[in-house]
Chains A and B, each alone.
Chain A
Amino acid sequence: MSPWQVIFRREFRAYFATPLAAVFLVVFLFMSGVFSFSMGGLFERGQADLRSFFQFVPWLFLFLAPALSMRLWAEERRLGTIEVLTTLPIPLWHAVAGKFLAAWFFSLVALALTAPLWITVSWLGDPDQGVIVAGYIGSAMVSGIFLAIGGFVSALTKNQVIAFVVTIVACFLVLLSGFPLVLNFFRDWMSPGAVEAIASVSVLTHFNSLMRGVVELRDVVYFASGICALMVATTFVVDWRKSA
């Protein structure tokens, strides 16, 4: 096993050592059901697709991804185990990547458990499977970017509650910058180019095009480069503040 796999395995199992995993999965599935059926009108719309589910995914992850990421580094600092971890003969970026991937994989498990929705619409109608696959890719990307933000914030503090709250705010900002309401506000007094720039850093803009079934290179590049940049930043922060 290479070092990142060792870290990944420990971190992934750590979720199941506490009730966190069970609570997270139950809340995620319950809320995704409530959103899709009551608010999204999965049945009432009379269309065989998962749009009514996917459109709420970023909002679900806004609150649930920080719950997964808050402990990643803050807990190591609080327990002092960071001193054991960072003096092991493994490159620091392996530890950063292993922890992030464990949290991400956990969120993918949660997403996979929404498959009954997919099965239901496939059984009831004849949905465009490509659009659904693109929607799941988009959902995975959103959780990835939120967890990467959360990992970065977690590296800055030893208090998990602070990590949780600050991560929500940070994720909210990158989500909101693509919201029509916000963009309209800017549109009144900014050049179209500037508005375009604000919209382009938004998670929502890129997620929406994936949700419509358009898998474009620039959206994938946006999420992948965002996650990588945050990984690099996290590595620096951990190294810089590990003993603080």
Chain B
Amino acid sequence: MRELISANNLHKSFAGLHAVKGVTLQVNAGEVVGFLGPNGAGKTTTMRMLTGFLDPSEGSVLLDGFSLADDPLAAQKTFGYLPEGAPAYPEMTVREYLQFIARARGIARREIAGKIDEVGARMHLRGVLDQVIETLSKGFKRRVGIAQAIIHDPPILIMDEPTDGLDPNQKHEVRELIRAMGSTKAIVLSTHILEEVEAVCTRAVVIASGRVVFDGTPEEFELLAPASVTRNRMDYVFRQLTATAAEVTL
């Protein structure tokens, strides 16, 4: 399988705070990586370094073979990105916003309407295409954010909490979509919901206090719990892994 994301020894320090301490991550096409960790563990910071929004203090990122530091435009063409909170311009309609993103991504003028139709159908946005984003519910806003990330059908998808704010039905749909796309793309998504990792991810990466403390399949993750734990086994493992990491840094 093709290696699409290759992050090497990423570090990030903000004025005195060492937020990410050497994260290395390789993701191949066909993998869906669930990024787990307590709040403040460095998930969002790491994803921001994968997309070039933040420059790493140390380390490098290769996206589909393009170096984010040396050839940022080529590297940024390879991914779609849903930032934390799914930001979008509130005064635009969904259609205007998607047109803007499509144009900025260099999609040919005659293909844009078709692409919007396609993602509109996929994300169930058809009914709100001409509605102003400001007036949409949280769930719709999140889906606009995802639509914006997949409109150019990128080989890499990076999504910060894609199912946050969705109701159970919408969560199910987005997971189905991610699973379907996961067969050909390299996907990294962050989440707080451990069942989500079980449901859609082929791999779980747990990060705590800026370090990777687990990298394996969801099954392996669950097996870390002793047999005596019968309920919420993943929660148990998560607490064990992240609590020890936190102690180490204290």
Contact = CB atoms under 8 A, between A and B. Distances in A.
Interface of A: 1, 3, 6-7, 10, 13-14, 17-18, 79-81, 83-84, 86-91, 242-243
B87 A81 contact: yes
Interface string B96-121: 10001101111001000000000000
A88 B105 contact: yes
A198 B133 CA distance: 49
B132 to A, nearest CB: 8
Contacts of A7: 104
A83 B106 CA distance: 18
Interface of B: 48, 51-54, 72-74, 76-77, 81, 83-85, 87-92, 96, 100-101, 103-106, 109, 148
A240 B51 CA distance: 16
Contacts, number: 67
B88 A81 contact: yes
A238 B7 CA distance: 25
A17 B91 contact: yes
A88 B76 contact: yes
A6 B112 CA distance: 14
A177 to B, nearest CB: 35
A242 B54 CA distance: 8
Contacts of A80: 83-85, 87
A12 B88 CA distance: 17
Nearest to A78: B87
A83 B53 contact: yes
B238 to A, nearest CB: 27
A242 B74 CA distance: 20
- Most B CB contacts (10 A, CB to CB) among A3, A81, A89 go to A89
A83 B73 contact: no
A84 B88 contact: yes
Contacts of A14: 89, 91-92
Contacts of B54: 243
Contact of B105 (A18, A79, A86, A89): A89
Given A84-B83, A243-B53, A89 B106 contact: yes
B89 A87 contact: no
Contacts of A91: 73
A14 B97 CA distance: 11
B103 to A, nearest CB: 4
A210 B77 CA distance: 46
A17 B74 CA distance: 33
Contact of A87 (B53, B84, B88, B91): B53
Contact of A83 (B48, B103, B104): B48
B89 A81 contact: yes
B100 A6 contact: yes
Given A83-B53, A242-B53, A243-B53, A88 B87 contact: no
A17 B133 CA distance: 12
24 contacts: A3-B104, A6-B103, A6-B104, A14-B91, A14-B92, A17-B92, A79-B87, A79-B89, A80-B87, A81-B87, A81-B89, A83-B83, A83-B84, A84-B83, A86-B52, A87-B52, A87-B83, A89-B76, A89-B77, A89-B105, A89-B106, A91-B73, A243-B48, A243-B53
Nearest to B86: A80
Contacts of A3: 104
Nearest to A85: B104
B65 to A, nearest CB: 15
Nearest to B74: A89
Contacts of B88: 79, 81, 84
Given A17-B91, A91-B73, 15 more contacts: A6-B103, A7-B104, A14-B89, A17-B92, A79-B89, A80-B83, A80-B85, A80-B87, A81-B88, A84-B88, A87-B53, A87-B81, A89-B104, A90-B73, A90-B104
Given A3-B104, A242-B53, A87 B87 contact: no
Contact of B53 (A1, A86, A90): A86
A48 to B, nearest CB: 44
Nearest to A98: B104
Nearest to B55: A239
A80 B85 CA distance: 8
B55 to A, nearest CB: 9
Contacts of B90: 79
- Most A CB contacts (10 A, CB to CB) among B53, B84, B85, B148 go to B53
